[in-house]
Structure 1
Amino acid sequence: MGFNVGIIGCGSITRFRHAPEYKANPFVEEIVFYDRNIERAESLAAEFGGRVAVKLDDLLTDPTIVAISDCSSNEAHHIHTSKALLSGKHVLCEKPIALSVKHAEEIARAERKSGNKLMVDHNQRFTKAHQKAKEIVEKKELGEVLTFKTNFGHQGPEEWGITKSNATWFFKKERSPFGVAGDLGIHKIDLIHYLLDDEIEDAHAFHGALDKVDEHGNPIEVCDNVVCVLKTKKGRLGTASFSWTYYGKEDNSTTIYCQKGIIKIYHQANSQLVIEMNDGTVTHYELEQIQTNDNQTNTGVIDAFIACIVNDETPPVTSREAIASLKVIEKILDIEV
């Protein structure tokens, strides 16, 4: 028994991730696309064999649509996701859940009031290497976790966005004020919370616009680099770097230092997980390549979202968890709340 899904926003994230993964899911019958720019919606409807909603309300009131992906730009999530939930739809919201914890709490209230499912697209939890690392940490195979470091950097959103231009909304303070911290950093904060079954409670950071310029040649209004020191509730210490200026190969690596050895994730192309024990034993796991902007593979996010609807289960990334990560980003950027 299948159902229809709707997508709000028809940019790159929809074209490369949400639409193809819905198309491949056996429970999804038809995708309905909405974008303020109707040509974009028409283009994706033609590419994926779906149809177009001319107005957002057409999408929200369509009784055949059971679930919606909110792929609008960050400043609109609290509006669109809340409205979709209160219209009786299950929602998969792109990250960050909102541009402030205050707006995110608004979404959480709509979720509770509606009784519908809300999942947030923190997709790093779904890679095989990260899931295996979590299992190793949970079983304490290397003893307790002591410290960690994590990186996420690439050449910047102008290389990935639909317009391939430095006029991208990612560089605009009113639309994406967290800069690289909201684009890449929040993924790694969520990942650390997931891997360690812990939460970061303290953060100190430097951040700045070191190299990126906008379409007028001026330094961008948001940070393109962040380097931070983090402390978790359970007392683990770590560092994190997020960058839009890694002008070479993308870096999406994490290292977890434990009492009996080290877990290295996505340091090597062919061994996505490497365990180095303090007795000299080294174990290599060949699991899968990490998804990058140049290597678009199935993230597993859409399948997990559809499965939690079909099986009436709690979504694997909840609003509470998304808000916990957002709180850390506000701390990192020293945003007054």
Structure 2
Amino acid sequence: MGKVKVGVIGCGSIAIHRHIKEYAANPDVEIVAFCDVILERAEEKAKKYGGKAYQSYEELLTNEEIEAVSVCTPNYLHAPITIAALNAGKHVLCEKPMATSEEEARKMIEAAKASGKKLMIGHNQRFVESHEKARELVQSGKLGKIYSFRTAFGHGGPEGWSVDGRDSWFFQKEKAFIGAMGDLGVHKADLIRYILGEEVAEVGAFVETLAKESDVDDNAVCILKMESGIIGTLAASWSYSAKEDNSTVIYAEKATVRLEDDPEYSLIIQYTNSEAEKFALGQIQSNEDGGQNQSYVIEKFINSIKEDTEPAISGYEGSQSLNVILAALESGKTGKIVKVQK
């Protein structure tokens, strides 16, 4: 097949720094359409990269030339736009969190199955070199039994990242549904499932609004229990204002593994005999890099279309990570330990 013809729905920061930039750099892609409710944003991108500008995603989806779309909209629109695109016969790459409920996620997965089109969720943290190596270490048995972990993702908040600054939809509950836990926490829920190679069974969480004047969460600390009994913590915050934290630590029988926790070495293995191995691998993609480092999400998505293979992060995988966050929200409301839906 020739170049995959792509439309980008939503022209905010994630589209600008990740999707559009990486599509434009991919030799197997031609961007043919941009859509944004603020038409000028779509027109600006169309002028720069070529293609047609739309204000309505419904109209964009009637363009038969388009084979695949990226959904880079506020969270509450992820499910309806994804389902409409799949029903229109387009492959879909949807930003995280994939939906605002378990039911929405299920309908997205069903639409992908019924249409025979690809549905991939943009959890880029799986493709970070240190994270891939950590998964290999766990699977190899080199670390022995895994006991515990801690994983965190925090920065100063979306006002420093979003094109709308303090007026961003990220702070509006009716559009975002969830705050730091949807923006950052779902990444780490997905990551810990990936590294450990198993599902989260139960969650206990404190999910609070402490730092921002908004009606969504900006700080959360969760305790996760995996299916095998491994326990650990997950923190998500929009109040790490001095420096971003994107680290994960795995505590095991034979070693402690530190990921993205050292400015020079992205993976450090500290063995129980005091020996250590240090690896300077590729940098993690984060808000702090301004989109300089490739996320590999676009590459994996396009390859799945061209090679007709299962996307690297399927709708099911996205839904399992979403369910961890939904359980955390429920725990935060009820003060009880919540079982994660399967």
TM-score over 0.5 for the pair: yes
**CA deviation after TM superposition for structure 1 residue 279, in Å:** 1.1
In structure 1, what residue type is equivalent to 2:30? Answer: E
- Preserved CA contact (<8 Å) 2:76 2:100: yes
Which of 239, 243, 252 lines up with 1:249 in the alignment? 243
Q: Deviations over 1:107-131 (max 9, x none)?
A: 1111111111100001100111111
Q: Deviations over 1:55-93 (max 9, x none)?
A: 323321222211110111100111100010011111000
What RMSD in Å do the two structures reach over aligned CA positions? 1.3
- Preserved CA contact (<8 Å) 1:94 1:121: yes
Residue number in structure 2 paired with 1:115: 116
In structure 1, what residue type is equivalent to 2:231? Answer: L
**CA deviation after TM superposition for structure 1 residue 245, in Å:** 0.2
In structure 2, what residue type is equivalent to 1:285? Answer: F
Percent identity at matched positions? 43
- Preserved CA contact (<8 Å) 1:3 1:64: no
Residue number in structure 1 paired with 2:215: 221
Tell me the number of residue pairs that the alignment of Structure 1 and Structure 2 aligns. Answer: 330
Structure 2 unaligned spans of 5+: 335-340
Q: Which runs of 4+ in 1 moved over 3 A?
A: none
Residue number in structure 2 paired with 1:48: 49
**CA deviation after TM superposition for structure 1 residue 95, in Å:** 0.4
Equivalences for 1:1-337 in 2 at 5 Å?
A: 1-164=2-165, 166-213=166-213, 220-295=214-289, 296=291, 297-334=293-330
Q: Distance in 2 between matches of 1:29 and 1:68?
A: 11
- Preserved CA contact (<8 Å) 1:74 1:99: yes
More off after superposition, 326-335 vs 77-86: 326-335
Structure 1 unaligned spans of 5+: 214-219
Q: Deviations over 1:150-198 (max 9, x none)?
A: 010000001100022x221111111112211000000000000000011
Q: Distance in 1 between matches of 2:235 and 2:31?
A: 40
In structure 2, what residue type is equivalent to 1:196? Answer: L
Q: Distance in 1 between matches of 2:4 and 2:286?
A: 30
- Find the residue that maps to 1:107 and give its secondary structure: helix
Q: Distance in 2 between matches of 1:111 and 1:170?
A: 27
**CA deviation after TM superposition for structure 1 residue 54, in Å:** 4.6
**CA deviation after TM superposition for structure 1 residue 268, in Å:** 0.8
More helix by share: 2
- Preserved CA contact (<8 Å) 2:75 2:177: no
More off after superposition, 52-61 vs 187-196: 52-61
Residue number in structure 1 paired with 2:338: none
- Find the residue that maps to 2:206 and give its secondary structure: strand
Q: Distance in 2 between matches of 1:81 and 1:27?
A: 22
Q: Deviations over 1:22-48 (max 9, x none)?
A: 001111123410111110101122233
Q: Distance in 1 between matches of 2:32 and 2:24?
A: 8
Q: Distance in 2 between matches of 1:108 and 1:124?
A: 21
In structure 1, what residue type is equivalent to 2:244? Answer: E
More off after superposition, 240-249 vs 53-62: 53-62
Q: Distance in 2 between matches of 1:54 and 1:228?
A: 39
- Preserved CA contact (<8 Å) 1:22 1:31: no
- Preserved CA contact (<8 Å) 1:23 1:31: no
In structure 1, what residue type is equivalent to 2:303? Answer: A
